[in-house]
Structure 1
Amino acid sequence: MKSAVRKLVSAALVSSLLFVSACNTDEMREGEQSSQSSGSPVEESSNSPEAKQEYVIKVLVQTNNQIKRSDETKIGKKIKEKFNIVFEYMQTPGNYADKLNLMLAGGDYPEIITIQDNATFDKYVRAGALLPLDDVVESSPAFAERYNVQIPLWKLSAFDGKLYKWEGQVPVDFQNKVEVNDVGVRIDVLEQQGWPKLLSTDDYIQFLKKALEENPMTNGKKTIGMIVPFGEPWGMQGISSIMYEKGGRYSTAAGNLGVIWNQVDKKFEDMMTNEYVKENLAFFNKLYREGILDKDSFTDKMDQFQEKLNSGRALSSWYVVWGLVTANQGLIEAGHPELQYINLPIRSMKQIERNEKRQIRVEDTRPFAIFAITKNAKHPERIKELVAWAATEEGRIMLQSGIEGEEYTIENGKRVPTDSYKEALRDRELGRSIGFGAFDFLGSVLSNAPDGVPYSMEYDPKIQDELQLTQGMRDAYEQLGWESSKEYFIQTGEAANTGIAGTITIDTTSELGAQHQKMVDFRVKNSALLIVSPKTDEEFETMYESVIASYKQLKPEIVVNEYNKLYAEKQAQLMQLK
């Protein structure tokens, strides 16, 4: 899920990067390559003939980011100078999960690949499609140190205990990234209703119903109450049930398949029968009945979702709030600053009653952003060398902070963002020209550098809101009495490290794996029915009980028990791998 799970200028690019294929360009030219990476895994490659030739790596993206080659960016030019490697960005349509399966079946997968869940990763490992990376750990101290917590967990994701992957956006410092994706709300309607303290599902239904009555049209078009990209593969499967993460017991460490992770009791539980999942579906059913939920949500993908957000027509957006700043900048430029959005919290009625500390996920692993080198790689030693360099201080700072003297200066031993860096966060074109977000498949971290400043300076808690939010967003939070955009979440939540839970997966080729997939398919299909079919609360309850009775015939407890068995086994394995 992409439970996941992310944002700003770099976020738009991060979410669009899907997979990477490497190829040699027809035009091979001599170039200077200096390898200053700490503990390069293949030092001799720098002196080989292949190392002096331009190596073009094709990066397929879901949306057009307007950059055709990485050497059109400042950071990309530096990479080319060091390694004579260039990334070529190519747009690809279609369902990504289906594309991965087809590529694996045909053996025509790329040299470097991005995988978005552990189940698909398991398929590629069992098929022998991925190259082990243990030699990178042995010869690159920077890589081994950077991922010292992650490497044992990544090995646990593979059935044979070998290392086949690295991931993006880990490790994480909790204070740098309080990841809370709740509800994007239009600022003007908050002001119209006197800046209400929205929190419960009942609060939102009352607020949005009144807002639709008072704002039937927006810029000449019909106003939409709430938009959701259920049409995405992770839409209905992941975020129609995501209410469970807003309470005090569960995190999204298990992804969006058949189980959820109880962070407090340290065990897996069934997702479909969870009480908070039920409340989430009942909430959407009420939104649908009140005409608040956009009826096109069930087919809308991100492009349609983003268009509605960018136009300001939507009063609110569910979960997908990482594009709010970009949308707000566009609304300002279009002369409608009043239509901007902010991210506000939501809780179910039971969660309100219990008032427990929210388990805010801190990812030790990120199966939504898996990167691996495949056996189709023509020059795996050069790819490994680049990945090793990306783990060094030089690599981390350049890829995430830019160039010294241009994007940052050094004052009292600390990086300080320049005005041009701040502008790059607000100007998507400028951010792209620098290269922010265009190289996240090399690995990005959300932790602090030795100077105490996050590698991505935008995550510095002291300047986060200044760099990330528009003035209108900051003013709105002030009106609500918040000192920062994350204040409420920090005060009412606590860090929930994913640990081993994020590595557990059932063999997708097994009979139990097939049973697990049936559970997921059942939940996706019936979640949609529970949202649109019941006409009253009583009808919802009756239909829900009938759906659960049918669901239990799949014997989901067998899969849940297997997850908990694997968890116990991996706890023991982890002690051996450390």
Structure 2
Amino acid sequence: MKKKLSILSLSLLFIFALLFLAACSDDSDTDTSSDDNGETEDGGAEKEGDTANEEPITLTMFNADGEEKSFDDPVAQKITEKTGVHLELDYPVGGNDEAIPLMIASGDYPDLIFAKGDIGKLISAGGVIKLDDLIEEKGDNLKAMYGDQLDRLRNSIDDPSIYHVGTYGVEEARWETSGTFQIQLDVLRELGYPTIRTLDDFEAAITEYTEKYPEIDGQSTIPLSLLGSDWRWLITVGDPAAAAAGLAGDGQWAIDDDTGEATYKFLLPELKEYFKWLNGLNDKGLLDPESFTHTYDTYISKLSSGRVLSIADQNWNFGDADAALVADGKEWRTYAPLPVTLSEDHVSQSIKDYGYSGGWGISISSTSEHQERAFEFLDWMASEEAQILVNWGIEGENYDIEDGKRVMKKEDRERMNTDANYSKESGVGYYIYPFPQWGNGAVDSNGQSITPNTEEDIIENFNSAEKEVLEHYEMDNWVEWFPSTEELGVSNHGQAFNYPIESGSDLEIIQQKADDLTEQRITQAILGDPDDFDAAWDAMLEELEAMNIEKANQEMTQKTKDVMELWGTN
């Protein structure tokens, strides 16, 4: 009897061993394959860094804000080493805004897509997949990164699915400002460090300096230059008008943060007041006459020459010129941001905390044959290991560990401040946007800043002219000029320009028509005779009314209220 039991036991053990080996085989690291529905047969989530053990693959990626770039810099190579993923990067050539509609029409999608405001079109066309199940099953890094902000990734009240991740930092500190009026440091020095708070103050400063120095380095001085010849009209013409009116950064909309009521911003009398002031500058010869015709390269070339006294622009848009000025020893020709508004009754919102807006991000296409690998790649990019890599670069090459802390190498820090190609060539900082990012206010598991851009670093890296000007104003950082983040409060609705707009909706169609109209009519009004400005503005308002702009106001109001309900901030 005992002998029979032993044989039975051995038989059972043998069977269990076979089952165990089969299970192990099913769980092994192999490349995922897809069926006709794009669902993968292989399943298990991998631990951080383990994806490199899978068969290396190339994922195609379209970046609406991208540029010509190969995924072969040192940081990119390290990413591939860790993940087994090589990216083949694509971008809209010549700023073409038809790239996403063309994808939809052809049905030919890359694996990963950063569509910006066109994400709604992709969702409506079924061009991207829902990520909810993947996040739940194998998105540990993403869940840790977003935490209680995860709901802000959801599409809408009617469709609360998650279709994308990334773009903006989850924990953002407001140590820098962008998109404001900027004035040359030498203007401040020559005029005895005046207080420039209003548009009148600003105009007086550039007027006095131009009269004193009609030429700079043998070329005519340009008091103010804008870039309104392409899509940058939005950031150098339209957005500064809203900022001067004390509006928050909601793109084409003015939003009441308590009620959610939305108004197409160019309907507001404050916007008319700003553009009428700009029209006056043009009439007085204070506005660059090529502001609405020159190319981006020409604009940057002018700024790099040091003869442009002031601009109204985002830091990332003119950063190349700033680096060129420093490299050329023209530190006094670099710029200081100003909290300029229409009057002292208007409050600059430049360093307002919008929370995590979540409206844009990187999506995985419905036609990708590597959906799970693509997701695993995005989840790894949210890991602490990846965040340190993309922000700091490679230990020993870009930074060292000193007393247990990361310290950027001196030559790398200098190149970051003076070489416009540093990030593109080294990869340091290049793969932060639009990928998932913790943000410059986040710290790692050791309590160290996840980015090399702490406020102390920012202050330390100011050039000598900046430091001298700041000292005269008894400040350490430019943000001290602006109303504080605490004073401004946290936005309940995020930023309206991030909202996914349903493709083909009345809101999308009316806003597009309104945007095309206002860009054209406002440009004409700025460049026209001041005596004709009021009539030109009134005619534009009539055209907006005729295209039913009020319906767009109502739909954006409802969308804002829905967002606030979805986020639980209403």
Under TM normalisation by the shorter chain, which class is it?
A: 0.7 to 0.9
Q: CA offsets, 1:372-391, max 9 Å, x none?
A: 12123232222211111111
Q: Distance in 2 between matches of 1:121 and 1:330?
A: 35
Gaps of 5+ in 2: 1-28, 32-42
Q: CA offsets, 1:274-326, max 9 Å, x none?
A: 13322221121112111121122213343222121112121111123335554
Cα offset, 1:540, TM superposition: 2.5
Name the counterpart of 2:21. Answer: none
The code of the aligned residue for 1:185 comes to I
Name the counterpart of 1:140. Answer: 139
1:107 aligns with 2:107: yes
C-alpha contact (below 8 Å) 2:180/2:340 kept by paired residues: yes
The code of the aligned residue for 1:419 comes to K
Instruction: Pick one of 383, 389, 410 that aligns with 1:392.
Output: 383
Name the counterpart of 1:70. Answer: 71
Q: Distance in 2 between matches of 1:327 and 1:526?
A: 30
SS in 2 for 1:263: coil
Cα offset, 1:409, TM superposition: 4.5
SS in 1 for 2:550: helix
Name the counterpart of 1:229. Answer: 227
1:544 aligns with 2:537: yes
Instruction: Pick one of 267, 272, 278 that aligns with 2:261.
Output: 267
Name the counterpart of 2:355. Answer: 364
1:426 aligns with 2:425: no
Name the counterpart of 2:366. Answer: 375
Q: Distance in 2 between matches of 1:181 and 1:531?
A: 20
Q: Distance in 2 between matches of 1:107 and 1:573?
A: 31
1:533 aligns with 2:525: no
Instruction: Pick one of 451, 454, 459 that aligns with 1:456.
Output: 451
Runs of 4+ in 1 over 6 A off after TM superposition: 44-50, 59-65
Cα offset, 1:368, TM superposition: 8.2
C-alpha contact (below 8 Å) 1:109/1:376 kept by paired residues: yes
SS in 2 for 1:122: helix
Instruction: Pick one of 420, 431, 454 that aligns with 1:439.
Output: 431
C-alpha contact (below 8 Å) 2:83/2:377 kept by paired residues: yes
The code of the aligned residue for 2:152 comes to L
Q: Distance in 2 between matches of 1:49 and 1:325?
A: 35
Change (3 A) 1:236 1:424: closer
1:52 aligns with 2:55: yes
- Normalized per residue, the structure richer in strand is 1
Bigger drift between 45-54 and 512-521 goes to: 45-54
The code of the aligned residue for 2:191 comes to Q
Cα offset, 1:452, TM superposition: 4.1
Name the counterpart of 1:508. Answer: 503
1:252 aligns with 2:252: no
Instruction: Pick one of 250, 270, 278 that aligns with 2:272.
Output: 278
Matches within 5 A, 1:143-292: 143-157=142-156, 160-175=159-174, 177-236=175-234, 239-246=237-244, 248=246, 250-253=247-250, 255-256=251-252, 259-263=253-257, 265-292=259-286
Name the counterpart of 1:26. Answer: none
Q: Distance in 2 between matches of 1:136 and 1:488?
A: 45
The normalised TM-score by structure 2 is 0.81
The code of the aligned residue for 1:530 comes to A
Instruction: Pick one of 512, 520, 523 that aligns with 2:518.
Output: 523
Q: How many residues align?
A: 524
The code of the aligned residue for 1:77 comes to Q
CA RMSD of aligned residues (A): 3.4
SS in 1 for 2:154: helix
The code of the aligned residue for 1:239 comes to V
Cα offset, 1:560, TM superposition: 1.2
Name the counterpart of 2:10. Answer: none
Q: CA offsets, 1:342-363, max 9 Å, x none?
A: 22221112xx1x2547363434
Q: Distance in 2 between matches of 1:164 and 1:222?
A: 51
The normalised TM-score by structure 1 is 0.80
SS in 2 for 1:181: coil
Q: Distance in 2 between matches of 1:566 and 1:329?
A: 41
Q: Distance in 1 between matches of 2:67 and 2:157?
A: 33
C-alpha contact (below 8 Å) 2:178/2:350 kept by paired residues: no
Bigger Rg, which one: 2
Q: Distance in 1 between matches of 2:61 and 2:500?
A: 30
Name the counterpart of 2:39. Answer: none
Cα offset, 1:182, TM superposition: 0.9
Q: Distance in 2 between matches of 1:357 and 1:222?
A: 32
C-alpha contact (below 8 Å) 2:180/2:312 kept by paired residues: yes
Query: What is the percent sequence identity of the aligned residues?
Result: 21
Cα offset, 1:420, TM superposition: 4.1
C-alpha contact (below 8 Å) 1:45/1:51 kept by paired residues: no
Instruction: Pick one of 304, 309, 321 that aligns with 2:315.
Output: 321
C-alpha contact (below 8 Å) 2:134/2:375 kept by paired residues: yes
1:472 aligns with 2:473: no
1:305 aligns with 2:282: no
Name the counterpart of 2:16. Answer: none
Q: Distance in 2 between matches of 1:83 and 1:445?
A: 19
SS in 2 for 1:375: coil
Cα offset, 1:528, TM superposition: 1.2
